[in-house]
Structure 1
Amino acid sequence: MRDLITVGAEPRDVLRGLRATLDGAGPALALGDTRQPVEQVPGGTALVVATSGSSGIPKRVVLSRSALIASATATAGRIGEGAWLLALPPTYIAGAQVLVRSLLAGHEPSLLSGAFSVDAFTAVAASMRSSVGGTPVPRFTSLVPTQLSDLVTAGEADAAVAAELRGFEAILVGGQALPPALAERAAALGVRVVRTYGSSETSGGCVYDGVPLDGVGIRVVDGELQLTGAMLADGYLGEPERTDEVFVRDAEGTRWYRTGDAGTFEAGLVRVTGRLDNVIVSGGVNVSLDRVERIVRTLPGLDAAVVIPVADKRWGEASVVVIARSALAERHVSDVLSELRDAVGDAAGAPARPRALLVVDEIPRLPSGKPDRVALRQAWADRMDARTRGE
């Protein structure tokens, strides 16, 4: 057995703890978890990572030292090794893996302290320039789409910011779907963006630009993407039944992770089409809210829109599109709603058309950068309550 200690969100504390646990000398680390963890875990454990809980209760994922190293090694095999900039919370797997990759590559990571901003990011990026034997050390970072959007917008107006972005060998982007329009804008600036797919249960991203990393196996069972490989988590802390439900073995004894994502794997490419459980039944018709969200995000100014499920007296269930007030620009709410309803109806059929548009001052986000969908559903409920009271 191995001791388990809770580490705060300070990047240097997490880095110090990771260095010790990867060397085998230090205790396992509990990240992103405010609950009191158990005091000991199996000997091979390196991290216990709390999931983001974007739409439910967080789970505590148990990751071994070997799983973390397998993931980091596979990433290096695909994009190369170098110096990494940490711009994500280190208590989530994407941020923790930036530190793991740095340690394994023998480079001290550059840390972005405090809240993310374009100025802070570009200043740290500029400070990373170095060379070994006259050869520049490649630079890498990992971002969520909202961070990339801020940087690309700044880069389109400021050549210096664009130059710093182009200076990265690769910028990994995950955590949520990357809007196609944002990917095109980044490409127009000459920025190499790599779309990643994975989760805490797979020690981070394990599919890059649709192609599985070396050692990663993919299968589709009843429409669900399932993954296998040395990067898989051991399971969920203190939840053996959930572990057995999510991590299954086939007839040959191979262990697979059930992602809960719908998708395909054809010609060597993974395509994620949405969450199997993010489906509503509207008027007797199944509607994938992930598909609706993808369609809405293709419209001008709506690339950060979020689609949430709501109850509907007539149809049983419906969807609402949430946008930040700044996305309206000079347009009227009714005009935007009409535009997006037409777009969704044309692409996915009339039952998929969103019921309403909810405009908020700012999209609330979790520390991981993902939209806080629980908070957004509550915001809609509050609006409906206020209308009922006549406010």
Structure 2
Amino acid sequence: MKPEKPVRAGTAVVVATSGSTGAAKGVELSAAALSASAAATHARLGGPGQWLLTLPAHHIAGVQVIVRSLLAGLPPVLRGTQAFADAVAAMTGPRRYTSLVPTQLLRLLDDPAGLDALRTFDAVLLGGAATPGPLLARARAAGVTISTTYGMSETAGGCVYDGRPLDGVRVRLAHGVIHLAGPVLASGYRLDPAATAQAFIDGWFRTTDLGELRPDGTLDVLGRADFMINTGGVKVAPAAVEEVLTAQSGVAEACVVDLPSEEWGQLVAAVVVPADPANPPEVSALRAAVRERLGGPAAPKLVRFADHLPLRGPGKVDRNGVKDLLRGT
């Protein structure tokens, strides 16, 4: 049997990306990058604390819960299959933290015991996927201390909290695309020098996300550049359409994708998860809301309802699965 090729020198872990738009890649992260991220997170949140692990430990968010726990000298509490509230009851640290994805937050807000437990955390990190504005507002109004995070495996997890980079992290835009730099960066992709050279350039990691910087320096993430829909010559950002849809009464979640169209080139299509499956919102009302806010081309020409969105990785929507739902396959 041929021996496995060694990892890059200094590599502590290799984390697989979610592969949402293709084959997953192995991200090589050093102990220094992981530690820098963990230390900067604790500094931003107000100090070390005990962490509840609710996400898979082989994904970067789970890896970082372990690393932060090691640096804090406090054992993490593992949720496993037990109820969220029961896992929280086992926590003993003076400060308590956890990381969730939006789907988990939505379910906990609907569970009285889970919501009570959420309120006891000094901070709940929310990442892994875009968070609908209404969901975020609902959680904060319920007394949950939320910090939204932006980052990826290549940045040792979240490196921008509530739109502001962690200490040591730098953000710039190049033609609207977000570039990130700092001590949290990965060393590269395992056994893929071409992809490494394309993404990691002169100390910067070139993401595939579009963003805007507000005058105060806050970063707004607009969505993946490669998810942009060109319909009839007009470019539509799916994230913007999803934001409008999830703001409508009766909508719990939504995902917007493109489908091929002879007439339009690409068709704007949406899968919507109703808050009450027995009483879904009117499709015409959803289209009208998008049309009023973003213009006619952005209004989904195809809308289907589903009980849930297909997921891939820690809370990430499987967009190919969404397309299959829309095609009826």
TM-score where L is the length of structure 2? 0.94
- Picking from 13, 38, 53, the partner of 1:72 is 38
Percent identity reads 44
Tell me how many residue pairs correspond in the alignment. 326
Larger Rg: 1
Checking the alignment, whether the CA contact within 8 Å between 2:50 and 2:69 is kept in structure 1 is yes
Matched, 1:97 2:54: no
Partner Cα distance (1:144, 1:208) in 2: 14
Name the counterpart of 1:293. 242
Matched, 1:188 2:155: no
- Picking from 77, 84, 90, the partner of 1:127 is 90
Greater RCO (Cα-Cα under 8 Å, separation 6 or more)? 2
Name the counterpart of 1:368. 314
> Which 5+ residue runs of structure 2 have no aligned equivalent?
none
Partner Cα distance (2:44, 2:178) in 1: 22
- Picking from 224, 233, 245, the partner of 2:198 is 245
Partner Cα distance (1:100, 1:59) in 2: 22
Checking the alignment, whether the CA contact within 8 Å between 1:175 and 1:369 is kept in structure 2 is yes
Checking the alignment, whether the CA contact within 8 Å between 2:133 and 2:243 is kept in structure 1 is no
Partner Cα distance (2:48, 2:278) in 1: 42
Name the counterpart of 1:224. 177
- Picking from 262, 279, 292, the partner of 1:330 is 279
Name the counterpart of 2:155. 202
Q: Following TM superposition, by how much is the alpha carbon of 1:173 offset from its aligned partner in structure 2, in angstroms?
A: 0.2
Q: Could you say what secondary structure the match of 1:41 adopts? A: coil
Structure 2 counterparts to residues 227-376 of structure 1, below 5 A: 227-249=180-202, 255-266=203-214, 267-324=216-273, 327-331=276-280, 336-376=282-322
Name the counterpart of 1:44. 10
Name the counterpart of 1:108. 75
Partner Cα distance (1:82, 1:211) in 2: 21
Q: 1:343 to 1:62 in 2, by over 3 A?
A: same
Q: Following TM superposition, by how much is the alpha carbon of 1:225 offset from its aligned partner in structure 2, in angstroms?
A: 1.1
Checking the alignment, whether the CA contact within 8 Å between 2:8 and 2:28 is kept in structure 1 is no
Checking the alignment, whether the CA contact within 8 Å between 2:84 and 2:117 is kept in structure 1 is no
Question: Aligned-residue CA RMSD in angstroms?
Answer: 1.8
1:230 maps to a residue whose letter is P
1:313 maps to a residue whose letter is E
Matched, 1:179 2:132: yes
Name the counterpart of 1:388. none
Q: 1:310 to 1:327 in 2, by over 3 A?
A: farther
Q: Following TM superposition, by how much is the alpha carbon of 1:300 offset from its aligned partner in structure 2, in angstroms?
A: 1.9
Q: Following TM superposition, by how much is the alpha carbon of 1:356 offset from its aligned partner in structure 2, in angstroms?
A: 1.1
Partner Cα distance (1:370, 1:97) in 2: 18
